[in-house]
Amino acid sequence: MNKTFLLSKMILTLSFSELFKDTRAKRNAFFVFLGFLPLIVIWLYILSSIISSSIYILAPSDNEPIILGILFVLTAIITVLFSIPSVISSYYFADDMENYLTMPFHPYQLVIGKSLAPLLITYMVNLAILAPTMIFYGMATGSGILYVCLSIFIFILFPIIPFIVAALIVMLGMRYVNIAKNKDRSKVYAGIFSLVFIIGFNIIIRLNTNSNQMSQEIGSWLNQQEQLVWQVTKLFPSAYVATNTLTSSTWWMMILFLILFIVLTALALYLFITIGQRMYFKGMLGINKGGKGKKKQHIEKRIGSNPTLVTLTKKELKTIVRTPNFFMNCIVQSLFLPVFFVAMIAFDDSIGSIASFIQSSNEVNVLLTTFSITVFMLGINLTATSSISRDGQWWFTNLYIPIEPKTVIYSKVITAWIIEGISIILLGGIFLYLGVPTIPLLMWGILVTMVSWISGTLGTIIDLHYPALNWTDEQEIFKMRYIPLLSFLIQIFVFGAAILAIWRLPYFTGVWQTFLAMSVVLVIAIYLGNHLLKKAIQKHYFHML
């Protein structure tokens, strides 16, 4: 146990040490948090009103525990889904494993050590869903001190079982991915698998629920479906027991259920440790290093010359495609939203209603809506905010090669722009399929091409200011950094304000006026962005190492 603790502490120190490195980093993290505050307030407001109105409807028939039941089920599902990707990368793709392999650790100790960082992320997610739900529920039903104590216990214990379920799925799955024996390719397969899993899950859930009914009053819907809801809850024993812990009618029943819950968690832990001990290395060692030999290529054919900017851009693109972590975070994740979108509408009867919405609403609204969706999608793209950091300790090579700093940096902006272009094209196809008329679609295309350039510039500027070059594992560029959040927030607020202004101001009634106004705004933004980028290059390019 002692060794396990030691190892866990070490792994945690190493994975979180970048986050709060100095006071500047702390201050920035604080500002990012401030930026999210409004979003948090809105979320809490929505959640509390859903809960209190549902309780109002459900209380007369004594059905209000259903609310907790359903939220526990949801939390469990979300925890499993969120944990799978982070567990995969922490267990199998962090390159620090090799350091520990030669030391006398049991597989189960490594598994526990490697679980803590992703488990902590799980608690963050639960802090957003589970904690406010239990608080609002407790306030609305006027619960006492016992409820408070029990809910603290439940909050601490609840994420463990879903997390273990995710970890077991990953470990079992990895045994088979391991057949590929190629570390790089397996990483990509595993990443795509987890996305497909999430989307597939979404489809299954959607096939089984009727969204039209769902969107009516949630409370009365729940009331009608009482039986069903309880059955679903029983499928997730931990959700069932947790609900009963908090809502049983007598205090000794509550305590009894809590004990049951603790026993369940302990059992899950035992299972986790036993299976981890036997399975972890099986996947791990197989995946460790690899690269089946490729047949010899004609080297001569591959020698040719290109302008520097083209060469650099090609180099960036190739690096992204060939490095699994980059590929997953920059390309696959940027395709995720459009694909998710397709999955949602393709398996839903709402497609007719979307099409009729598009037909019935005016072109300005269609343009603004498609534009907003795209801004959101581009905002979460990670290519630009990792422009500089991706070079890592090799950044110094940029300093001694005889190429203008500007050229190097613009090759990175262009790279981000090209990658964002892929998801724009995909989204354009979806909009076309949904029946967005030609003129607004073309306008949309022109506008978002500019937006994607701005987003590329902005991300690169921010990454120039706060690069993370000292990583030992590529994953660190994307996880545990607030830079992408910062870029996302800036884009959402700036473009959000512009959209809101254009939408609300009386001058822009026709689609052409709207288009022109937005183009002007975007051209100015591009000009400003380029100016800021050049300043940032001057200030930081040679002063990063």
Partner 1 sequence: MIEINHVTKSFSTSKKAVDNLNLTIPAGKIFGFLGPNGAGKSTTIKMMTGILPIDEGSITINGFDITKHPIEAKKIFGYVPDSPDLFLRLKGIEYLNFIGDVYDVPSDVRQEKIAYLTKTFGIYDALNDTIQTYSHGMRQKIIVSGVLLHEPKVWILDEPLTGLDPKSSYSLKEMMREHAQKGYTVFFSTHVLEVVEQLCDEVAIINEGTLLFHGTLEEMRTKFTSDGSLEQMFLELTNHE
Ligand X SMILES: Nc1ncnc2c1ncn2[C@@H]1O[C@H](COP(=O)(O)OP(=O)(O)O)[C@@H](O)[C@H]1O
In three-state form (DSSP H/G/I as H, E/B as E, the rest C), the secondary structure along 55-85 is HHHHHHHCCCHHHHHHHHHHHHHHHHHHHHH
Q: Would you state the torsion angle of the CA atoms of residues 167, 479, 82, 346, taken in this order, to the nearest 10 degrees?
A: -130
Closest approach of Cβ 286 to ligand X, in Å?
13
Shortest distance, position 183 Cβ to ligand X, whole Å = 8
278 binds partner 1 (CB under 8 A): no
Burial profile 114-148: b = 16 or more Cβ within 10 angstroms, e = fewer: bbbbbbebbbebbeebbebbbbbbbebbebeeebe
Q: Binding string to partner 1 for residues 16 to 55, with x set by CB under 8 A, is what?
A: -xx-------------------------------------
Judged by beta carbon, residue 13 or residue 360, the one nearer partner 1 is 13
Q: Report how many residues bind partner 1 under the rule CB under 8 A.
A: 28
Stretch touching partner 1 by CB under 8 A, among 70-78, 287-295, 342-350, 439-447: 287-295
Q: Which of the choices ligand X, partner 1, none does residue 348 contact, using the CB cut-off of 5 to 8 A by kind? A: none
Minimum Å gap between C-beta 98 and ligand X is: 11
The residue among 150, 162, 192 whose CA lies nearest residue 77 is 162
**The binder of partner 1 chosen from 4, 12, 14, 336 (CB under 8 A):** 14
- Within 58-97, the residues that bind partner 1 by CB under 8 A are 96
Minimum CB distance to partner 1 smaller for 277 or for 372:
277
Q: What is the DSSP letter of 288?
A: S
- Contact code string over 513-532 relative to partner 1, x by CB under 8 A: --------------------
The one of partner 1, ligand X, none whose footprint includes residue 470, by CB under 5 to 8 A per kind, is: partner 1
82 within 8 A of 128, measured Cβ to Cβ: no
CB of 8 to partner 1, least distance (A): 12
Least distance from partner 1 to the Cβ atom of residue 109, Å: 10
DSSP string, 396-427: HHHHHSSS-HHHHHHHHHHHHHHHHHHHHHHH
* Among the listed residues 200, 291, 429, 510, the single contact to partner 1 using CB under 8 A: 291
| Cβ neighbours of residue 87 closer than 8 Å, sequence gap 6 or more | 115, 118, 163, 166, 167, 170
Q: Is 4 in the site for partner 1 (CB under 8 A)?
A: no
Q: Which is nearer to ligand X, 291 or 429 (CB)?
A: 291
User: Is 114:90 a contact under the CB 8 Å cutoff?
Assistant: yes
Spatial CB neighbours of 447, under 8 Å, sequence gap ≥ 6:
367, 371, 515, 518, 519, 522
Q: Which is nearer to partner 1, 113 or 428 (CB)?
A: 113
277 scored as a contact of partner 1 (CB under 8 A): no
Pairwise CA distance, residues 121 & 508, whole Å: 44
Q: How far is the CB of 288 from ligand X (least distance, A)?
A: 9
Residues that bind ligand X (CB under 6 A): 289-291
- What does 434-500 look like in DSSP terms, one character per residue? TT--HHHHHHHHHHHHHHHHHHHHHHHHHHHHS-----SSTHHHHSS-SHHHHHHHHHHHHHHHHHH
- Distances in Å between the Cα of 505 and the Cα atoms of 241, 367, 497, 508 are 53, 16, 12, 7
Instruction: Answer with the entry of partner 1, ligand X, none that 538 interacts with (C-beta below 5 to 8 A by kind).
Output: none
Q: Which residue is nearest to ligand X (CB)?
A: 289
> 9 phi and psi, to 5 degrees?
-60, -45
Least separation in angstroms between CB 408 and partner 1: 24
Given ligand X, partner 1, none, residue 226, with its beta carbon under 5 to 8 Å by kind, binds none
Cα 5-469-422 angle, rounded to 5 deg: 105
Minimal distance, residue 195 CB to ligand X, in Å = 27
What residues make contact with partner 1 under the rule CB under 8 A?
3, 6-7, 10, 13-14, 17-18, 96, 98-99, 101-106, 285-286, 288-294, 470, 472
